[in-house]
Amino acid sequence: MNTDNIKPGSLPDSGPWWRYPLVWMVIAGPAAVVVAGFATLWLALRTPDPVVTGDYYRRGMEINQTLARDKSLAPAQQGRNHAATPAPAGRPMPASQ
């Protein structure tokens, strides 16, 4: 396009930049990120992370002992799981004993 023959008064006035909705859509994205960042900072400062207890090792050992005791239930759980599992296609379920 040749702009040499356009007269200065022939172009319409475009108006100020803040009257265009597209400008506000472009500004809204980064502004929302800044607001979310401040909200995250406020939450982080308001509710600090809890400190790990001093007896974490003893508690872990107690959990391991509890899990070891629950292994005595393993045969019953395996039987229950086996009874609830459908037979593969083409193979009949074994008869109960």
Q: What are phi and psi of 46, to 5 degrees?
A: -75, -35
**What confidence score (pLDDT) does residue 64 get?**
78
**Residue bearing tokens 């050992």:** 61
pLDDT digit of tens for each residue in the chain (97 aa)? Answer: 566 676 766 667 788 888 899 999 999 999 999 999 999 999 999 988 887 778 888 888 888 788 777 666 666 666 666 666 666 666 665 665 5
**What confidence score (pLDDT) does residue 73 get?**
62
CA distance 31 to 33: 5
**Residue bearing tokens 């506000």:** 24
CA distance 93 to 77: 19
* Tokens linked to 23: 């400008």
**What confidence score (pLDDT) does residue 95 get?**
61
Alpha helices in the chain (DSSP H): 21-46, 56-70, 74-84
